[in-house]
Structure 1
Amino acid sequence: MKYKYSIVFALVSIIGATSCKKNFLDTKIDTFTTPSTIITDRSTLFSFANAFYTSLQYGFTSLDNNLFAAASDEAQPTAAINNAQIYNQGGLNANNNPESGLYKTFYDGIRAANFFLTYSANGRTFLAKNRDTITEAVSYNQDIQNLTWYRAEAHIARAYYYSELIKRWGGVPIITQTLQQTDNQYVAKSTYENVVAYIVSEIDTYKGGLQVNWKTSSFSNFDGRFTLGSALAIKARVLLHAASPLHNPTNDVSKWQAAATAAKDVMTSTGLNYTLDNNYGSYFIGATPLTSNETILAVRRPANNTPETANYPIATPGGNSGLSPSDNLVADYEYIGTPNPANPYTNRDPRLTASIVTNGSTWNGRVINESSGGTDDLANANSSRTGYYLKKFLTDNLNLVQNGTAQNQWVVFRYAEILLNYAEAMNEAYGPDVIPAGYTLSARQALRLVRNRASTSLPAITVTATTDFRNAIKHERRIELAFEDHRYWDLLRWKDAETVLNQPIQGVTVSKTSTGAFSYQKINIATRTFNSPANYYYPFSQTEIVNSNGTLIQNPGY
């Protein structure tokens, strides 16, 4: 992507809710070559508004047309040839990065937001043309309100895309206006800290123009667009990352305090009304993310079978065994009762059963038997590499041969993450149990809310030192947010990647004893390599370096 920005937009697809007649944002617009074209059709104004949502990513197809989990220690790809191995074997470089295209994608989203802000500046006048604003007062005023919301949303879109850019590349160029092809302008990258400040400024300045919560408004059909809640969630996540060791090597406590305040704002702002869903397992399945008060923002798609086709076991017709969850992860699910040597998967944190298919469990209409001669024999071609299959998100028993489909909505922000963000920031700023003036929960209380939703039988967290409580929070994020595209980035921001991502991935073999009982043996199934410090940031692609005319400086180590 050159640092020369065009106002020309290509055809884009449908991604989220926008009207009473549609469940998904209509972002399909024609290509425009002149600014004057936009004023010929009132609906075009809102088409351009929807266009800046196009760059939101559908997490079910992040890496190898599957979840990003295989880049971390959460899972191992089943396929022998895969892009995840570029991460797993330390192969990232300027010419080899599976996510290099996201750099342009996110800047396309920023450019779309910039374009809309420029050409909607006189939107009120435009919306009044060729209509009687008295007899059409209701629809006219609704259009004005919708335009006001969209303009605020464009600023939040910019903030979101910059948050995704700096998470990957660190400092990047800040582009705040639509540049013409003839401008031939090249923009140097800003520091990470300056981009964080810009993101916070965008949110703080324009949050007042946003709908508070589409679900509880008279415009619930617009749900899927940015709201006050999603704007504050972006800020909370960005400030948590900015306070973390990767970006805060001197452990400036004021950064943790700012992150805690940002998370608190999501929890306490009037009208947001977020709560934890009653059932962790069912929350992720079907249309529940669209109706649950736990969801802050979800990327919507029409019904499909993308994650099921990718991740059903190979023994299920149509399945491809895509991700094999690691035993590294399985071993971290706590016991809630006496361990059973004959069945290591019983009496465990219920989130294990909700997230991972284990031997002996029921899935796809059968009891999984991975022992020799079983339907899911691990010796069969393309079976799980680790002895486990993905369950989280997936609708059970879809008939893939008949192209059965289900709702698969990707949750970008949810309330449990906010509580964990809050717990982490509060612990680092004040310790596990201090509740400063103006706050209503301690770090421990916020953590307990998340754990109690999973099971009130989970062991109590009794540690009192900040360091020990930090480890408890890291554990809880690993379990609660498993497979949701947090783990890799958490390991980076904590600077734990150089240790964790250099450990082998483990799995289990399954056999049957003479009595018919299952027996399990842990094995190493893959090595991992993380090159520190280079891999803490992505390299800019060589194409971007060349096209920047010398203004884009490569990240260290590449």
Structure 2
Amino acid sequence: MSRQHCPKSGPTLRAGLAIGTIPPLPKRKSAFMRTINKFFVLFSALTTLLTVGCNEDEFLNYQPQGRYSVENFFQTEEQALGAVNGAYVQLRELYNVALYRTVEMRSDNTTFIPNPNDRGSLAVEEIDYFALTASSGIHGNIWGPAYRGISKTNYILELIDPIPFSDEADKVAIKGQAAFLRAFYYYILTQTFGDVVPVTNIIESEDQAAEILALRRAPREEIISQIIIPDLELAINSLPEVWGNIDRGRATRAAAQMLLAKVYFADRNYTAAIPLLQAIIDSGLYSIEPNFRDVFGPGNQESTEIIFANQFSVAASQGAGFFINWLPYQSGQTLTQGIFVSPSAASKNMPTKDLIAAFEPNDRRFAGSIGYYDEDPNDPDNELIAYSTKYFFPPVTQGGSDQNYPVFRYADVILMQAEALLETEGGIPNQVFEYVNLIRTRAGLPLYFPGNPVPELDISTEEDLRQAIRRERRVELAFENHRWWDLQRYGNLLEVMTAHGAEQRACQDYLDPFADAYQNIRILYAIPFNEVERYGYTQNPGWE
């Protein structure tokens, strides 16, 4: 038995799951990505303007000396549109790599299988085993892109008002998108680092930078109340309910409402979140897709379940490649039909035994989320390797795929509203059962109700219902960057992860190089070492 199989294999194969095969979907290109491609040269120039002189982890962006200044570059409606297109880029960067490592792979949902013959992903192993040090560059993989995105949105929000537009509604919508994106970047920062540095203006000189640095890290609560919430309220009042086909993929009013609901959820302020979620439900614009797998395939931006998705495009040299990292390193070119999977890049975000066990028998979501790879089909005793198939729709190309990454979807709205109503009303409200059972019906599972003769389906107490909602969230939203932050909200993150670590250490005999694996679990990431050294920021607890 291969040692790396321990956390990967499920107790049994599930009905309807074909080993090593994934049902394809027709491939359609996002119209919004065609728009982004059109402005690619423009926002590439703008990106250069905004980031000259910056190291990867630095957020400060000084105005460069040269023939272009901020004022004479950013003057037209077309440039403003190109700028806001460019402000989405860092969100795509975060979702392509950094966030799944931080929110899924650190959790009990997924893990990393190291290749004993290729240690090229040692830093990724250290994330999974909680062996990172404060000096690791991994921490900057969220800090850097988020602050670069914030810098871009600051330029837009500060400079757009004097620019003449043929239709003022277009200017309002661009401001709404910029406000949404700035709030999103700050939300990711506060969820990952806690207290962070508030930067809401263009930084044009070292003197101005020094003034901002003197503020140091602001309390997380201050970032939320003074930046995130006002930005999202502006976005809600500025963004359209829907975009036309050419602009499909941009942030909408519902996306801003959902992000604000998630901000309130992080602090268990369910009362504030309920009307935001209800507004999305009452809009009638979204519904549960009948086929679970259709939500994740190419062209999913047309799904009625998608509220906001991260856009990728091979034609714009911005293809999605994250799913290749999630394939077993042993698979070579087998699953990708000829595209070589680098052993040092693969085997990340692999499902754990605990996640696999969370799926009920005959749950249709299992076959749409997890597949098995047989390393040696000729060996009947060979143990199968479980891997995530949620976003894997072969064939793929060397440039990745046009695979959009769902960020917000309607099923999450339904489960969030179920949780919010339970936590505010108490007891076992009928509406909560309706919401949870709506999700279970799509999964082909029997319904929960009080007095169900099947013990596992008998939900007769508030705590029964709470645990049922949490189970549904885990399996419905697996691999979608929710689990770690859900555990934070539940208040049981350290308890769950300590138990998970003990299970992993018991069965992973290759953890010897990490004697302290799973022994130093910290909720927040470290402030990047370069930032602490350069600017004297205080470090997060446990990283000093």
Alignment TM-score, normalising by the size of structure 1:
0.73
Specify which structure has the bigger relative contact order, considering alpha-carbon pairs within 8 angstroms and separated by 6 or more residues. Answer: 2
**Corresponding position of 2:281:** 267
1:288-322 C-alpha deviation (Å, 9 max, x unpaired): x2100111111111145724543445341534552
CA shift in 2, pair 1:97/1:490, >3 Å? farther
* Whole-angstrom distance in 1 between the partners of 2:510 and 2:293: 29
Quickly say closer, same or farther: Cα 1:59–1:195, change in 2 above 3 A.
closer
Please report how far the alpha carbon of residue 36 of structure 1 lies from its aligned counterpart in structure 2 after TM superposition.
Answer: 3.1
Q: 1:463 aligns with which of 459, 466, 488?
A: 459
Alignment-mate amino acid for residue 475 of structure 1: R
Q: How does 1:173-184 map to 2 (within 5 A)?
A: 173-182=197-206, 183=208, 184=210
CA contact (8 A) 1:301 1:409 kept: yes
SS of residue in 2 equivalent to 1:331: helix
Q: 1:421 maps to which residue? A: 416
Q: Deviations over 1:83-105 (max 9, x none)?
A: 33223332234212523232122
The gaps in structure 1 that reach 5 residues or longer are: 1-14, 128-139, 244-254, 336-347, 360-367, 379-383, 436-441, 509-521
The 5-angstrom pairing of residues 60-459 of structure 1 reads 61-63=96-98, 69-80=104-115, 81=119, 82=121, 83-96=123-136, 98-124=138-164, 127=165, 140-141=166-167, 144-182=168-206, 183=208, 184-185=210-211, 186=213, 187-198=215-226, 199-214=228-243, 219-243=244-268, 255-268=269-282, 270=283, 273-287=285-299, 289-303=300-314, 304=319, 306-307=321-322, 309-313=324-328, 314-315=330-331, 316=334, 317=338, 318-319=340-341, 322-323=347-348, 324-335=350-361, 348-358=362-372, 368=374, 373=379, 377-378=382-383, 387-396=385-394, 398=395, 403=398, 406-431=401-426, 433-434=428-429, 442-457=431-446
Equivalent residue number for residue 53 of structure 1: 88
Task: Give the Cα–Cα distance (whole angstroms) in 2 for the partners of residues 478 and 425 of structure 1.
Answer: 16
Moved more, 314-323 or 449-458: 314-323
Q: CA RMSD in A?
A: 3.2
**Superposition deviation, residue 160 in structure 1:** 0.9
**Residue-by-residue CA offset, 1:392-417 (whole Å, 9 max, x unaligned):** 11114x276xx596431111111111
Separation in 2, partners of 1:286, 1:233:
23
CA contact (8 A) 1:92 1:539 kept: no
In 1, Cα distance between equivalents of 2:480 and 2:34: 30
Aligned to 1:36: 71
**CA distance change for structure 1 residues 305 and 113 in 2, over 3 Å: closer, same or farther?**
closer
1:484-505 CA-to-partner distances (Å, cap 9, x unmatched) read 1111222233232222222357
**Judging changes above 3 Å, is the alpha-carbon distance between structure 1 residues 297 and 463 closer, same or farther for their aligned structure 2 residues?**
same
Q: Report the Cα offset of residue 553 of structure 1.
A: 2.2
Equivalents in 1 of 2:99, 2:424: separation in Å? 39
Paired residue secondary structure (1:503): helix
- 1:107 Cα offset (Å): 1.5
Q: Secondary structure at the match of 1:116?
A: helix
1:60 and 1:66 in contact (8 A); partners too: no
Q: Structure 2: which amino acid aligns with 1:115?
A: Y
Partner of 2:471: 475
1:495 and 1:526 mapped to 2: Cα distance? 31
Larger deviation: 23-32 or 299-308? 23-32
Alignment check: 8 A CA contact 1:196 1:242 kept: no
In 2, Cα distance between equivalents of 1:51 and 1:21: 11
For 2:186, the aligned partner's letter is Y
- 1:134 is aligned to none
1:265–1:179 CA distance, 2 compared to 1 (3 A):
same
Matched, 1:556 2:541: yes
- Give the Å deviation of 1:232: 0.4
**Deviation, structure 1 residue 237:** 1.0
| Contact 2:320/2:401 (<8 A) preserved | yes
Identity of aligned residues (%): 22
* 1:311 and 1:322 in contact (8 A); partners too: yes
Q: Tell whether the 8 Å contact from 2:501 to 2:518 is kept in structure 1 after alignment.
A: no
**Residues 29 and 48 of structure 1 are in contact (CA less than 8 Å); yes or no, is this contact kept in structure 2?**
no
The CA distance in 2 between the partners of 1:411 and 1:498, in whole Å, is 28
Pick the structure with greater CA Rg: 1
1:536 aligns with 2:531: no
Aligned to 2:216, what secondary structure does the other structure show?
Answer: coil
C-alpha change, 1:371 and 1:424, in structure 2 (3 Å) is same
Distance 1:369 1:96, change over 3 A: closer
Q: Report the structure, 1 or 2, having the larger helix content.
A: 2
After superposition, the C-alpha distances for 1:127-177 in whole angstroms (9 at most, x for unaligned) are: 4xxxxxxxxxxxx23xx3222210122111111111111110112222222
**C-alpha contact (below 8 Å) 1:426/1:443 kept by paired residues:** yes
Separation in 2, partners of 1:369, 1:546: 46
Pick closer, same or farther for the CA change 1:302–1:525 going to 2, 3 Å. farther
Deviation string 1:313-334 (CA, Å, 9 cap, x unpaired) is 5341534552432111111111
Aligned residue pairs total 456
Does the CA-based 8 Å contact 2:92-2:311 persist in structure 1?
no
